[in-house]
């Protein structure tokens, strides 16, 4: 169970973050200004601090510097409407672990939080099994129900991306970014076509679907 601290002065944002994160099995504390955030971070051990930059009183920049100065290495994820590269670089330079620009997609926030929390000891399994699907990452081999499936390198990458985070919804933007390196507002409908192709090889011949569409959010690999 991960405990998160959300520092956000905008009430609505704080409320939906708390709700969304709690429903994704995180324990969430919220507070509305930097001074309180420093106090709370000193009191209890959080797994991650989600920090707005523009806060009343003490801003997010100074909260991070103060945390680091005090030797607190809690991971920090900035959420900010300040979207320039300079701001990003500043945030990461101060010791934050990630920087997300508003407006952001909640699915992406979740993905990034999980990616920060996963960093460190957890090692990726070499062969991932989901239901009767077996993905051998180092050998680039895929089998389902004992049958070999031939995938192109990109199809394999796409499947591996979904398989590495089973049960986690990945947005089209993240998929385009991670698999095809399309780091921008690319035409995300194209992702659907890729998924369709992958399904025709991985799902269609086997009756049950493993690649699920989550309407409005993206795709997830899981047995239902």
Partner 1 sequence: MPTHRLLVLPHRPLSVAGRLMAWHACATFALAIAVSLILYEGLSRELRQATDGLLLERIEVLRALVREGPSAQRDLEWEVESEWEWLEHHQIFLRILDDRRNVVLETGELASLLPVGLFPMSAGPAAPLRGLRIDSPSGRDFQVMAAEVPGPGGEGRWVIQAAFDLANEGNVLRDFKLLLALVVGAAALASMVLGFRITRSGLRPLAEIVDTTRRIRSSTLSERIRLPNLPPELASLADNFNDMLSRLEESFDRLSRFSADIAHELRTPLNNLRGEAEVALGRPRTPEEYRDILVSSLEEYADLSRTIDRLLFIAQAERSTAPIHVERVNVCAELRGVVDFYEPALAEKRLDLQVSCGDGSLWLEADRELFRRALGNLVANALAFTQGGGSIALDAEQRNGTVRVQVRDTGIGIAPEHLPHVLDRFYRVEQTRTKHSGGTGLGLSIVKAVMDLHGGSVQIASQPGSGTCVTLVFPNLTKS
Q: Which is nearer to partner 1, 164 or 197 (CB)?
A: 197
**Residue in the block written with tokens 């986690």:** 168
Q: Which is nearer to partner 1, 47 or 157 (CB)?
A: 157
Tokens of 213: 């569409």
Question: What residues contact 1, with CB distance under 8 A and at least 6 apart?
Answer: 25, 26, 27
Using CB atoms within 10 A of its CB, is residue 119 exposed (0-12), middle (13-18) or buried (19+)? Answer: exposed
Q: Which is nearer to partner 1, 70 or 190 (CB)?
A: 190
| DSSP for 37-102, written as a single string | HHHHHHHS--SEEEEESS-SSS-HHHHHHHHHHTT----EEEEES--SHHHHHHHHHTT-SEEEES
**Residue in the block written with tokens 């990034």:** 112
Q: Is 216 in the site for partner 1 (CB under 8 A)?
A: yes
Smallest distance, partner 1 to C-beta of residue 45, A: 34
Binding pattern for the stretch 181-210 against partner 1, x by CB under 8 A and - elsewhere:
xxxxxxx-xx--xx-xx-------------
Q: Is 219 in contact with 213 (CB distance < 8 Å)?
A: yes
Q: Is 103 in the site for partner 1 (CB under 8 A)?
A: yes
Smallest distance, partner 1 to C-beta of residue 191, A: 9
Q: CB count, 10 Å around CB of 208?
A: 12
Q: Is 23 in the site for partner 1 (CB under 8 A)?
A: no
Report how far residue 86's alpha carbon sits from residue 165's, in angstroms, rounded to the nearest whole number.
Answer: 31
Q: Which of residues 142-181 bind partner 1 (CB under 8 A)?
A: 154, 176, 180-181
Q: Which is nearer to partner 1, 137 or 182 (CB)?
A: 182
Smallest distance, partner 1 to C-beta of residue 173, A: 9
CA distances from 77 to 57, 125, 138, 184 (A): 19, 26, 31, 21
Question: Which residues in 135-156 are b (16+ Cβ under 10 Å) and which e?
Answer: beeeeeebebeeeebebeeebb
Q: Which of residues 71-90 bind partner 1 (CB under 8 A)?
A: 83-86
Figure out which of the listed residues 12, 123, 215, 224 binds partner 1, where binding follows CB under 8 A: 215
Smallest distance, partner 1 to C-beta of residue 66, A: 28
Q: Which is nearer to partner 1, 119 or 154 (CB)?
A: 154
Smallest distance, partner 1 to C-beta of residue 15, A: 17
Smallest distance, partner 1 to C-beta of residue 84, A: 8
Binding interface with partner 1 (CB under 8 A): 83-86, 103, 105, 154, 176, 180-187, 189-190, 193-194, 196-197, 215-217
């Amino acid at each position: 169970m991960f405990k998160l601290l959300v520092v956000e002065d905008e009430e609505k944002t704080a409320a939906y973050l708390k709700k969304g994160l709690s429903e994704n099995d995180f324990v969430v504390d919220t507070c509305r200004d930097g001074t309180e955030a420093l106090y709370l971070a000193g009191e209890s051990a959080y797994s991650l601090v989600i920090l707005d930059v523009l806060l009343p009183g003490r801003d997010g920049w100074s909260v991070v510097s103060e945390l680091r100065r005090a030797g607190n290495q809690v991971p920090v994820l900035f959420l900010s409407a300040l979207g320039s590269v300079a701001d990003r670089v500043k945030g990461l330079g101060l010791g934050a672990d990630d920087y997300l620009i508003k407006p952001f997609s909640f699915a992406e926030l979740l993905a990034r939080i999980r990616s920060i929390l996963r960093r460190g000891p957890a090692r990726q399994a070499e062969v991932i099994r989901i239901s009767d699907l077996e993905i051998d990452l180092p050998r680039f081999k895929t089998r389902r129900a004992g049958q070999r499936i031939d995938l192109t390198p990109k199809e394999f990458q796409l499947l591996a991306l979904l398989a590495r985070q089973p049960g986690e919804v990945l947005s089209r933007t993240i998929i385009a970014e991670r698999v095809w390196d399309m780091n921008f507002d690319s035409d995300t409908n194209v992702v659907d076509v890729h998924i369709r192709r992958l399904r025709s090889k991985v799902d269609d011949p086997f009756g049950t679907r493993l690649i699920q569409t989550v309407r409005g959010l993206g795709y997830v690999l899981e047995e239902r």
